[in-house]
Amino acid sequence: MAARSREPYVDFHPGPGDATAHFAEEAMRRAAGSPHVADGDCVTTTVSSIESPSVQIAWRLRMAEIGINLPLEPFFEGVQTPDPRVPKTQVDFALWSYEGTRASPTLGPADDRIVRAIASIAATRYHLPMWAEAAGSVARHFGQGWTQQVLAAMLNPPRAPDHIHPLDWVPRMQQAGALVLAWLDEGYATLRTIALGPVDWVVDAAIVAMGEMALRSPAMRGEIESLFSYLRGQVAQEGFTCFAYPLACTWIRLVPAEDPRRGELQHWRQQIVSGEVGGTTSSGVIGLIDGINMEDYAEFSVRQELLQAEQPASGLGALALGALSGKATTGLAALADEYGLPLLSPTHTYSRAWAEAINEDPRLQLAFEQTKSRFKLSLQGIDPDSEEARFSHNIMAGKPLDQDQEIKKAQSAAQQLASGGGGDPDPVVFPGQPLAKLSDYVGMMKKMQTGDMNGALAAYGLNMTTYGQVAQAWGTKLGTDPTLNAKMAAMMA
């Protein structure tokens, strides 16, 4: 099995490649390690030429997480050509203004309603077509007249969720916002203006959104490709141009396989990645280590844990692996090969580079563990952004429940069942899992009450490890659904 092919900006969103972003990532780790020393100080760095001002947005979000006041002051030795501070042609607006080399956003905070809506997209696992559909729903809900607010949200994102690093969160918010703009009236004109404005991650987001527009509206493809051609000519020959890589990746999607331009664009993209052309790369993209991004590595880790838990690989773990991959998993070697990771032993594999990065950065470690938790919840049939997921997180964190409120919920559910309500008395809760129906779970619990726990687990294709996963999933469902809890109590009686 060959390592799966995943397209950047389609299947995953690469992190920023600016030298200032890489410096900021390291400086964030140092500040978090000694917050009392860093508070009130100032972090400086020297960069050869001007880079994306959105780095400052991510920096401020991370400092707010740490709870300190620590400005980042990059010193730019020169200004590349074309000047990234000014629009590339006449435009209707600019999202950044400059005083010398210091950039400031031109819009203040956005309406909290649109911020929450965009953040609800940005917090999910990145997949461009799915994000585009979700953005269409947001655009239809808010309607026309919200363009300014969407732009403001792209420059003033909320705090990053635990499972996403701020340096990834800011470009994700900007990408989700750009996709919302694509569905609004004058969406193309707005995105075009952003793309032609001062160089920043928002330009990357506009390019990717316009590429998706071109695929969904073929009549626009010619005009968008012409704009892409112009933008390619605006890539500086020195310094760093953040939009070069997303431009190459997006443009390739628009060119048919038989078109000779496709080969040339693929060559250009490879030159960008390898640093063979000036002005297009620094030290790689944040978040892509050993050829794999954090979301994929977390998915791989969960799948490996499930595979190792199965003795043999059957039941919940095998079903979960199949649900993630779309095919049966034959072993650890196949799993490692699928993700392009080396098989270090017959029973284990991992990315040493990712392990080191996670161990070095507590914020990245938090994001990694939270992402793994989200995958596990999804495998259990629980929406990671649902009330059930919040309940599960609270229980695992040891947060107490409101006992009076829980008693009232239980009493109300019992009364509903007594009056003939409540729906199916034996609902299917986890379709496709070994214990799919309520009666399956109750049956296992009753077998366990006889004292033969191993026999009870074996009857349902489980072992102690997979039982823990099943128990957590059922506990979460029962904890958030008093009617289901009442049905179980009736069956157990």
- pLDDT for 383-392, tens place per residue? 888 777 776 6
Domain-terminating residue out of 329, 345, 379: 379
Q: Report which of residues 264 and 461 the model is more confident about.
A: 264
What one-character-per-residue DSSP string does 35-57 give? HHHHTT--EEEEEEE---THHHH
Is residue 297 domain-shared with residue 252, that is, in the same domain?
no
Is residue 432 domain-shared with residue 475, that is, in the same domain?
yes
Domain-terminating residue out of 286, 316, 332: 286
Q: Domain limits at 453?
A: 396-492
Task: Give the mean pLDDT of the chain.
Answer: 87
Listed residue (93, 98, 49) closest to 74, CA to CA: 49
Is residue 78 domain-shared with residue 165, that is, in the same domain?
yes
> How far, in Å, CA of 332 to CA of 344, rounded?
10
Is residue 191 domain-shared with residue 320, that is, in the same domain?
no
150 falls in which pLDDT band (50, 70, 90)?
very high
β-bridge partners, 73: 44
Q: Which two tokens stand for residue 170?
A: 């800011």
pLDDT higher than 80, residue 309: no
Mean pLDDT value across residues 404-427: 74
Is residue 40 domain-shared with residue 129, that is, in the same domain?
yes
pLDDT higher than 70, residue 79: yes
Burial (CB count within 10 angstroms: exposed 0-12, middle 13-18, buried 19+), residue 402: exposed
Q: Decide: 188 and 220 in contact? Cβ < 8 Å.
A: yes
DSSP 11: T
Q: Report which of residues 205 and 303 the model is more confident about.
A: 205
Mean pLDDT value across residues 18-40: 92
Asked, for residue 391, whether it belongs to a domain, the answer is: no
What one-character-per-residue DSSP string does 169-235 give? HHHHHHHHHHHHHHHSTTHHHHHHHHHTSSSSHHHHHHHHHHHHHHHH-GGGHHHHHHHHHHHHTTS
Peptide bond preceding 246 in cis form (omega within 30 of 0): no
Asked, for residue 308, whether it belongs to a domain, the answer is: yes
pLDDT higher than 70, residue 318: no
Is residue 101 domain-shared with residue 123, that is, in the same domain?
yes
Asked, for residue 390, whether it belongs to a domain, the answer is: no
Q: Which of 56-65, 81-90, 299-308 has the lowest mean pLDDT?
A: 299-308
The string of pLDDT tens digits covering residues 424-458 is 888 888 887 778 889 998 888 888 888 888 888 88
Q: Report which of residues 48 and 320 the model is more confident about.
A: 48
Is residue 325 domain-shared with residue 257, that is, in the same domain?
no
Is residue 239 domain-shared with residue 343, that is, in the same domain?
no
Asked, for residue 469, whether it belongs to a domain, the answer is: yes
Is residue 370 domain-shared with residue 464, that is, in the same domain?
no
Asked, for residue 411, whether it belongs to a domain, the answer is: yes
Is residue 53 domain-shared with residue 124, that is, in the same domain?
yes
**Domains of the chain: total:** 3
**First-to-final CA distance of the chain:** 50
319 falls in which pLDDT band (50, 70, 90)?
very low
pLDDT at residue 347 in the model: 76
Asked, for residue 368, whether it belongs to a domain, the answer is: yes
> How far, in Å, CA of 391 to CA of 477, rounded?
9
pLDDT at residue 401 in the model: 56
Asked, for residue 274, whether it belongs to a domain, the answer is: yes
β-bridge partners, 279: none
Is residue 108 domain-shared with residue 198, that is, in the same domain?
yes
Is residue 220 domain-shared with residue 140, that is, in the same domain?
yes
| CA dihedral of residues 174, 229, 97, 181 (deg, nearest 10) | -30
Q: Report which of residues 447 and 137 the model is more confident about.
A: 137
398 falls in which pLDDT band (50, 70, 90)?
low
pLDDT higher than 70, residue 2: no
Per-residue b/e over 272-311, b at no fewer than 16 CB within 10 Å?
Answer: bbeeeeebbbbeebbbbbbebbbbbbbbbbbbbebbebbe
Domain-terminating residue out of 246, 262, 286: 286
Asked, for residue 387, whether it belongs to a domain, the answer is: no
Q: Decide: 228 and 247 in contact? Cβ < 8 Å.
A: yes
pLDDT higher than 60, residue 327: no
